[in-house]
Structure 1
Amino acid sequence: MLQIAPRRRYLVRFDPKRIPHMFADVLILGSGIAGVRAALAVDPKLRVVVVSKDRADLSNSAWAQGGIAGVLDPGDDIRNHAADTITAGAGLCDPDVVEAVVAAAPELIRELESFGALFDQENGRLALTMEGGHSHARVAHALGDATGKEVMRALIDRIRGTRGVEVWEKTFTIDLLTHEGACRGALVWNEEHGKTFVWAKQTILCTGGAGRLYRETTNPSIATGDGHAVAYRAGAQLRDMELMQFHPTVLYIAGSSRHLITEAARGEGGYLVDANAYRFMGDYDARWELAPRDIVSRAITSQMDKTRHPCVYLDLRHLPQELIRERFPHIGQLCREFGLDLKRDLIPVRPGAHYMIGGVTVDLEGRTTVPGLWAAGEATSSGLHGANRLASNSLLEGLFYGLHCGRGASAAAAKIPDSFTALPLQSDWASELPNDDELNLEDLRNALTSLMGRNVGIRRNAEDLKQAASQVEFWDRYVSARELRTVEGWELQNMLLTARLMIGSAIAREESRGVHFRDDFPHTTPGQGKHVAIQAP
């Protein structure tokens, strides 16, 4: 097992006698699909606090476009969905986890309908579409290409009316609180109240991904790897941190923020062409545009190198206009804002960091290696995605593990008697701190995201990775020696730690597997793949 030492246990100094204390039965960190589903699964007689870094409706889940995969067509089969997931996962999937999750998918999707989510219909039934890596059309979608937005609307509407659940918005989780090896809650901060200790009988980590470690990303600004970092500092085992999935098609317009162009655009028949209007995917894979994401992303990167052009293009012009209007209203509106018409124009795209496959190691119920701490969703490594997540399995994972974590944490919390006594915790800060040199946080963050894209991106090698490790270590040494007092500062410290874990894991995996491709080890080690586990010494 790899071991990388965090600079310190807690990001900030604290005195428990000078900070307000709150008490909950179950504390849920994160308000994406996993966190909200977890909250709904807790016994309403218990007190639940959901901490949301920003607004409750701002999460990677809400930004999901494509849909949720599940066997809902009589011509499809659970075994097909499982086989597709395992094939995409390139030897790192846990077959028992895959079987359990895909078997639960149809009921989880129907449950969302019962909660009020309005999925798109066709001939009186759920409309299903094909996406890359799937052998059947099994992806249910809503509002055409805004599934996450609609699903989260329904879930958040439901949670706001649930007895016993409080949602704390714009509240940042600084660190998990641990005592005698177990998680006892979290230290949080918001602008109105400052720091607060939230003591909890059970804590569920649902903090999402880390795409913002890269300049080119589909993720919202909140996806800075906070959950990965706080769990690691608290002693949890993490796994496969080198596995960042890059989405092949991110709208590329210089100077603008990056926007996802859903997988379904290719699933419905869109073509990828290069700067010379050449449809190139057949040169790389027999499945053309419907190959798994890792293959398409590498193919696009190679074609960009061949043509010496900063992007390739998605061509939807040959598709029926009614189909484009119905399936891709969000993409159509987005492109119009940049003067692009899907009926006439090619869409400039290139890969971007999209989904963090690596994360906190959890079992089938969502338990981590730290007693009292559960985790669900993108912050975890569950064994479902293996080394390459199959399209539209992410919302499914969040629902499945959110439900199981909520039930498990609820049952565990109900067995613990109420206690309103704070624990005698101490932060590990020395009395003398370096002078604050007015760090330029934005400059450091931009330098980090650029470095990660160059050296820890779609194609990697030992020289680039070791150079990245040295540079990030240097930045981390002087940034983490300071007690920063803003969300931006804590985010940067979390990003630097998470980057260290990703780079160290990428160096350790001396093979190419799934989304992890190394030029110096271009082949996959035969046989079942092995996980790269990492834990603080």
Structure 2
Amino acid sequence: MEIEDVLIIGSGVAALQLASKLGTDFNVKVLTKSTVRHGNSLLAQGGVAAAVGLNDGPEKHVADTLEAGRFHNDESVVREIVHDGPGLINTFFEIFDKNQEGRLQLGLEGAHSEPRIIHSGGDTTGKNMMEHLIGRMPRNVQVEEDMFTYELIMDQSQNRCIGVKSKDQQGVLHCFYGRHIVLATGGCGQLYSFTSNAQTATGDGIAMAYLAGAEVADMEFIQFHPTLLHINGATKGLISEAVRGEGAVLVTEDGKPVMENVHELKDLAPRHIVSQKIFDCLKSGQRVFLDISGISQFSQRFPSITAMCEQNGVRLSEGRIPVAPGSHFLMGGIKTDLTGRTSIDGLYAIGEVACTGFHGANRLASNSLLEGLYQGKRLAHWIRANKGTDPLAQWSVMDPINLHKKVKFPEVQMLKERMMTHVGIVRSKALLEEQKQWLDQFRMNEIRGLDTYSVRELTTIFMGITASLMTEAALNRTESRGGHFRSDFPFEDDQKWSEKTIIHKYKGEVGETHEHVKASLVH
């Protein structure tokens, strides 16, 4: 039986940064449910936030991160990541856009007090960073694409994760074992009908970790990006905040500025404030547009946005882009320390799937790629210093065990629409309780024998479980803070700002070591 030194589930910036930093002395395997070049990291437009400007400094960046996160952040985590930021981007210096003097071009985005957004290819930063990481991937890293991972293999006697179970495109089951199991599966934006996220962002890693007994935290904090391209009632993709940073203004159809007298930063106010205001406009029947007429050479500065608009019939010559807010980023996730260690030995989480406390209640724009780079590097250093123990496991093909009557499934589009209306930008006790009751009827927590479900069914199960975690957390937080807005509790509660909404481990049997997998650890 093959045992990997490091088994990574997911293939975004955090995952590839980890793989590239481990060195050549480790056997590393990356499992991805689609392809390496398909995911949220590749879609990242704006850039990476780092305090490298002449008038900037890490403490300014720290202050902006804490303010955007409504002080729900772990300040020590914020300081550690932000202060490491300038050094982290040095390894990517060659791919970033520069001015005529050869210095980095710095953009401005919402809630930043200084221009500090470093970008590549105008608005293709994520794509170029991914290509850079793929290009320098060591030979010892093996990537298996189209491998849907759906369950963690546990040695319950040690509360240790020793491997994962996955299915390929034909539905054939595969088991993989490792000394270190890393979840880098991204977020859950696809739980909403309006989202900027890739099709793969369905909350798989969070659901798997929860079913295996890991702690999950702050699932109520969902960031809704204010400006997604909005065509015929559907969102078609992200319009980067950098567009507003370059001078675009949000207006109604009659040209009235949307953010006037709403916030001192107007169009560059924190994302939750801008999103809520646009949502109010749309709810009252007003369409909202980004007026880009003041941006010179828009197509050169934003080539991918230009192409997306043209593909969807938007005439940029008219100077307006129709927009609507949509689910963009999850601030919560699997509870980890700064290294990425979860409450389960041998299991780590990095990137958007993890909750380190960096983002607090609302992520500061362009801090996500920064966090992914930091976590990948830090976990690599930790693993190199702690090689780990060998899981001994034996898998034999047998009839599925724990067979129960299959649960009924929610219709996916209905789930997405209900999440948007009930657990979306504006929430209330009545809406949340109605959603909880609707989700409870599917009895997702009673599932057993995951091997018996198809990949499509497993995806729906994970979406349902993650939606339930988000709904429960939103009910528990009786205040408004950051990305979580309760119309029945519209103000921040000074007694709650630092409280983590931790959902403790799942009490069921899913994720336990199967009877036909005899596992132990060799110390």
Tell me the TM-score normalised to structure 2 length.
0.92
Amino acid at match of 1:346: R
* Residue 361 to residue 38, structure 1, CA distance change in 2 (3 Å): same
- The reply to whether residue 458 of structure 1 matches residue 425 of structure 2 is yes
Which residue, 10, 20, 31 being the options, matches 1:40? 20
- The reply to whether residue 139 of structure 1 matches residue 117 of structure 2 is yes
| Percent identical | 37
Residue 4 of structure 1 corresponds to which residue in structure 2?
none
Residue 510 of structure 2 corresponds to which residue in structure 1?
none
Which residue, 490, 496, 499 being the options, matches 1:530? 499
Residue 384 of structure 1: how far off its partner (Å): 0.7
- List alignment gaps of at least 5 residues for structure 1: 1-20
Runs of 4+ in 1 over 6 A off after TM superposition: 423-428
Residue 346 of structure 2 corresponds to which residue in structure 1?
372
Residue 237 of structure 1 corresponds to which residue in structure 2?
215
Residue 327 of structure 1 corresponds to which residue in structure 2?
301
Residue 473 of structure 1: how far off its partner (Å): 1.2
Residue 376 of structure 1: how far off its partner (Å): 0.7
Which residue, 14, 25, 29 being the options, matches 2:9? 29
Deviation per residue, 1:418-455 (Å, 9 max, x gap): 56543899999534535x9xx7x7x7101100110010
SS of the residue 1:250 aligns to:
strand
Output aligned runs, 1:28-177, within 5 Å: 28-113=8-93, 117-159=95-137, 162-177=138-153
- The reply to whether residue 468 of structure 1 matches residue 435 of structure 2 is yes
Moved more, 93-102 or 36-45: 36-45
Residue 301 of structure 1: how far off its partner (Å): 1.0
* Residue 432 to residue 378, structure 1, CA distance change in 2 (3 Å): closer
- List alignment gaps of at least 5 residues for structure 2: 508-523
Deviation per residue, 1:58-91 (Å, 9 max, x gap): 1111100000000111211110000000000102
Partners of 1:458 and 1:109 lie apart in 2 by 33
Indicate the RMSD between aligned Cα atoms, in angstroms.
2.2
Deviation per residue, 1:268-293 (Å, 9 max, x gap): 11000012220020231111001010
Output aligned runs, 1:138-537, within 5 Å: 138-159=116-137, 162-179=138-155, 180=157, 181-191=159-169, 194-254=172-232, 258-306=236-284, 308-309=285-286, 311-320=287-296, 322=297, 324-412=298-386, 414-416=387-389, 418=390, 421-422=393-394, 429-434=401-406, 444-477=411-444, 480=447, 485-527=453-495, 528-535=497-504, 536-537=506-507
User: Across the two proteins, how many residue pairs are aligned to each other?
Assistant: 502
Q: Contact 1:22–1:197 at 8 Å: present in 2 too?
A: no
Amino acid at match of 1:430: N
Residue 102 of structure 1: how far off its partner (Å): 0.6
Residue 123 of structure 1: how far off its partner (Å): 2.9
Partners of 1:131 and 1:151 lie apart in 2 by 19
SS of the residue 1:469 aligns to:
helix
Partners of 1:146 and 1:378 lie apart in 2 by 19
* Residue 518 to residue 85, structure 1, CA distance change in 2 (3 Å): same
Partners of 1:517 and 1:424 lie apart in 2 by 50
Partners of 2:341 and 2:173 lie apart in 1 by 27
* Residue 513 to residue 256, structure 1, CA distance change in 2 (3 Å): closer
Residue 122 of structure 1: how far off its partner (Å): 4.6
Amino acid at match of 1:213: L
SS of the residue 1:126 aligns to:
coil
Q: Contact 1:476–1:493 at 8 Å: present in 2 too?
A: no
Partners of 2:124 and 2:404 lie apart in 1 by 51
* Residue 379 to residue 128, structure 1, CA distance change in 2 (3 Å): same
Partners of 1:425 and 1:399 lie apart in 2 by 39
* Residue 123 to residue 343, structure 1, CA distance change in 2 (3 Å): farther
Q: Contact 1:374–1:409 at 8 Å: present in 2 too?
A: no
Moved more, 478-487 or 348-357: 478-487
SS of the residue 1:503 aligns to:
helix
Partners of 1:352 and 1:250 lie apart in 2 by 7
* Residue 424 to residue 505, structure 1, CA distance change in 2 (3 Å): farther
